[in-house]
Structure 1
Amino acid sequence: MSGSGRRVAAPRGTRDVLPPESDLRQRVIDVAREAFARYGYSRIVTPTFEETDLFVRGVGTSTDVVRKEMYTFEDQGGRSLSLRPEGTAPVVRAFVEHGMHKQPLPVKLWYAAPMFRYEAPQAGRFREHWQVGAEAIGSDDPLLDAEVIALLHGIYRELGVPGVTLRIGSMGDPESRGPFRERLVAYLEGHLDALGEDARERMRVNPLRLFDTKDPRVAEVMRDAPTLLDNLSPAAQAHREHVLAALDALGIPYVDDPTLVRGFDYYTMTVFEFVSDHLGAQSAVGGGGRYDGLVEGLGGPPTPGIGFGAGIERIVLAMGGGGEPAGLDVYLAVMDADLRVGMLPVLEALRARGLRCESDLRGRSLKAMMRHASSLGARRAVIVGAREHAEGVATVRDMDTGEQRRVPLGGLVEELSG
């Protein structure tokens, strides 16, 4: 009977993730998890929603995320809550709340979680999207910056993400940004006629964010603007040089980018971004940087930190989308309905050995079962009929070559899992 109700679709800006793309997304998480373990990171899980004030204080009031992209609501107790738009502030909040500064430093944590932002949907960028990320909190050593970059670089390499380039810059320290901000504002005041209302507001609140503008008129102005890399304090310049020397020693190529600005106010010193030439204008597949004042800003003791976030959808898109189905190791074709229950232990024993197995669950004919096995990408089919069962054997068919051999039922599990 056909349904008569209105067809229901996923909310605008979200989407369902179906096989085989879901398998590729899981591979991204699995590869990242193994890399995190090698570098000494442990997993942290934070709530999907937090107090709105966390992101106002942590991410910054001048950012697009806080100004217009957060999903914010009031709960029944009158508290303002927001769905998590990014991963670093919640991890740092947990670090402070649970007194993790008392642990051996740096504390290394990783996550895989959905993020929520109200922005225009486009390829690889949705209002609900997933990130894998890492935070290393408790050291200002530039070698930690290089290690974090090497960690993400290695994940992309192991996944085979094509056309990846590392862009690196610096947001400097307070001694750098104060004088530079004055120079930049003075320059911008000479070009007010090219700045719209939004750009002028950014100029007042955080003029460095104008380097990340999408407005072509503003971009033209910023092309000749002074850069922070030319105005770093001696300490910030030394830190930067040590990071670059470490990357050189690791053999990780990079592009020096004096205009690189990450989207959150908490960044200090090293900032970096990985881009892929297999994507369009929105080419970023991940990035991060230092946030040496964030822990203190959220009520903890002065504690430096560095981290990154990498968008799973962006990585999958750069890798070509869904990829190939995983396929099956074994398809069990039982031709006699009375034998199906008796063959269940064999099927489960194969699965317990780590093999991917399926069987017919619709009462198909043998010909239809072979078509089903082929459509699922099975490498081998095990055929058992009444005569084979009476003789204590099964027929094992290679689905690629069609070659068949008879195998004793008692040795079937060992034969197929060997």
Structure 2
Amino acid sequence: MNISVPRGTEDLLPENTKQWQVVEEALKGLAHTYHYDEIRTPMFERTELFQRGVGDTTDIVQKEMYTFEDRGGRSLTLRPEGTASVARSYVQHKMHGNADQPTKLYYLGPMFRYERPQQGRTRQFTQFGIEAIGSADPAIDAEVIAFAMDCYQVLGLKSLKLVLNSLGDKESREAHRQALVEHFKPYQEELCSDCQMRLEQNPLRLLDCKVDRDHPTMSSAPSILEYLNDYSSQYFEEVKKHLDAMGISYVVDETLVRGLDYYTHTAFEIMSEAEGFGSITTLSGGGRYNGLIQDLGGPENSGIGFALSIERLLMALKAEGIDLETGQTLDCFVITMGDEAKYTASSLVYKLRKAGFRTDQDYLDKKMKAQFKAADRYKAKYAIIIGEDEVNNGVANVKNLVEGEQKTIELDKIIEQLETSV
């Protein structure tokens, strides 16, 4: 019986993980530049965290979570997103009491959602995200958006579109909520069953429905921007001014609502406009959350963040024809002839690795010609050849595979010579 991976998951083989490592290091480097520190939270949390933090009316909570009971009867859920976990940790560990504020964190790890698998969307996927908690300054919103754009631009992507909206504060959202109910109520029976429920619980979510998105009432629905109070409107203008000052282009889309209930004020998405990328163009998204920390038992501190899918980022790179330079080469490949040479090679390979050289050797008793071919496949910089004569004389032939030059060097001086050459 052959056992394959579960549907919606995939193996990342070495030829793939090399690209992942390049992307991950680039993202971590950006986090360092922007002064964000790494946080690692558990892959499963109490189910209540996501019910309260993400929202009972979201598709994530209602349809997509992997939830189970442990042996103690506690309901646990594999994390479907990162913000709720970071917010929980922020509250639990009283990070709001730290001297340096806002608290700026990044995370990188697997998330889990039960949805229909398709290209770039799997049931286990990897998110990179950031959270800046403890400031209500529009400038930090612009910083987070700039960070998100840089995540793609630093890897060479150009066909990008930044879309902005404001969801307003609590007062603005309530006014908009009433307008949406009045707008959709006469057509409630024409909507899908989910939207009929959302109309009563959270009508803003109707604007994000994939089933009813072509219904005539969607295009004529009242805009949130028409219901922003003075504070919310001014806040949005300030965010845009900061982006203008940075020279970051954007488009305001009044229908952008995002899929999570905790968003307030700034919401944004980054999309790929590359030809052949696919019908689902969103690469990443984020926004401000002014009530989440308080809902989880913390102070009235607001935050803003975003998350991106590594899988979709790699899709965008492929769509734009960008090949990542993985830099995966060997410093040295040791070629041996004869049994005694193998013992000498084992000692030398060990010493080379201890000195920091990426080194390998043949373990299949290949002929010398085949060993040289292996060195070429590994893109080794140097081939170190050891035979019976070399063992007897305490030397090795070191060949520069890039320049073709070959030297005979005493075994105990090879590392010293390489350190001045590599």
Q: Which amino acid aligns with 1:364?
A: K
CA–CA separation in structure 2 for the residues paired with 1:147 and 1:349: 47
- Structure 1 counterpart of 2:20: 25
Match of 2:35 among 31, 36, 40: 40
For residue 79 of structure 1, report the CA deviation from its aligned partner: 0.9
CA–CA separation in structure 2 for the residues paired with 1:277 and 1:125: 18
Query: 1:232-271 CA distances to partner (integer Å, 9 max, x unpaired)?
Result: 1111111111111111111222121111121110001111
CA–CA separation in structure 1 for the residues paired with 2:226 and 2:413: 72
Match of 1:333 among 332, 335, 340: 335
CA–CA separation in structure 2 for the residues paired with 1:250 and 1:65: 34
- Structure 2 counterpart of 1:3: none
Structure 1 unaligned runs (5+)?
A: 1-5
CA–CA separation in structure 1 for the residues paired with 2:53 and 2:42: 16
Match of 2:386 among 363, 366, 384: 384
- Structure 2 counterpart of 1:265: 261
More deviation, 52-61/336-345? 336-345
More deviation, 199-208/266-275? 199-208
CA–CA separation in structure 1 for the residues paired with 2:295 and 2:371: 63
For residue 351 of structure 1, report the CA deviation from its aligned partner: 3.4
CA–CA separation in structure 2 for the residues paired with 1:152 and 1:306: 12
CA–CA separation in structure 2 for the residues paired with 1:216 and 1:353: 63
Q: Which amino acid aligns with 1:133?
A: G
CA–CA separation in structure 2 for the residues paired with 1:304 and 1:40: 19
- Structure 2 counterpart of 1:405: 406
Give the number of aligned pairs.
412
- Structure 1 counterpart of 2:55: 60
For residue 347 of structure 1, report the CA deviation from its aligned partner: 2.7
More deviation, 288-297/350-359? 350-359
CA–CA separation in structure 2 for the residues paired with 1:315 and 1:292: 28
Q: Which amino acid aligns with 1:339?
A: A
Contact 1:170 1:229 in 2 (8 A): yes
Q: Secondary structure at the match of 2:304?
A: strand
- The question of 1:236 aligning with 2:238 is answered no
Match of 2:241 among 200, 222, 245: 245
Query: 1:284-309 CA distances to partner (integer Å, 9 max, x unpaired)?
Result: 22221111100000111111111111
What TM-score, normalized by structure 1, do the two folds share?
Answer: 0.92
For residue 109 of structure 1, report the CA deviation from its aligned partner: 1.3
Contact 1:211 1:219 in 2 (8 A): no
More deviation, 159-168/244-253? 159-168
What TM-score, normalized by structure 2, do the two folds share?
Answer: 0.91
Q: Which amino acid aligns with 1:96?
A: V
Q: Which amino acid aligns with 1:287?
A: G
CA–CA separation in structure 2 for the residues paired with 1:407 and 1:233: 80
CA change 1:189–1:216 in 2 (3 A) is closer
- Structure 2 counterpart of 1:127: 123
Query: 1:153-182 CA distances to partner (integer Å, 9 max, x unpaired)?
Result: 222222223522221111111121111111
CA–CA separation in structure 1 for the residues paired with 2:402 and 2:352: 20
Q: Secondary structure at the match of 1:242?
A: helix
For residue 275 of structure 1, report the CA deviation from its aligned partner: 1.5
Alignment of 1:5-404 (within 5 A): 6-104=1-99, 105-192=101-188, 194-215=190-211, 218-278=214-274, 279-320=277-318, 326-399=328-401, 403-404=404-405
Q: Secondary structure at the match of 2:318?
A: coil
CA–CA separation in structure 1 for the residues paired with 2:80 and 2:14: 26
Q: Secondary structure at the match of 2:31?
A: helix
CA–CA separation in structure 2 for the residues paired with 1:59 and 1:238: 27
Contact 1:145 1:243 in 2 (8 A): yes
Query: 1:323-346 CA distances to partner (integer Å, 9 max, x unpaired)?
Result: 576232322212233122323343
Structure 2 unaligned runs (5+)?
A: none
More deviation, 265-274/345-354? 345-354
For residue 353 of structure 1, report the CA deviation from its aligned partner: 4.8
More deviation, 138-147/356-365? 356-365
Aligned residues: percent identity? 43
Contact 1:161 1:315 in 2 (8 A): no
CA change 1:30–1:182 in 2 (3 A) is same
Query: 1:14-54 CA distances to partner (integer Å, 9 max, x unpaired)?
Result: 11111221121122221222221222222111111111011
CA–CA separation in structure 2 for the residues paired with 1:356 and 1:316: 27
Contact 2:340 2:391 in 1 (8 A): no
Q: Secondary structure at the match of 1:160?
A: coil
For residue 398 of structure 1, report the CA deviation from its aligned partner: 4.5
Contact 2:396 2:409 in 1 (8 A): yes
CA–CA separation in structure 1 for the residues paired with 2:402 and 2:290: 57
More deviation, 319-328/290-299? 319-328
CA–CA separation in structure 2 for the residues paired with 1:337 and 1:220: 80
For residue 414 of structure 1, report the CA deviation from its aligned partner: 3.8
For residue 193 of structure 1, report the CA deviation from its aligned partner: 5.1
For residue 65 of structure 1, report the CA deviation from its aligned partner: 0.5
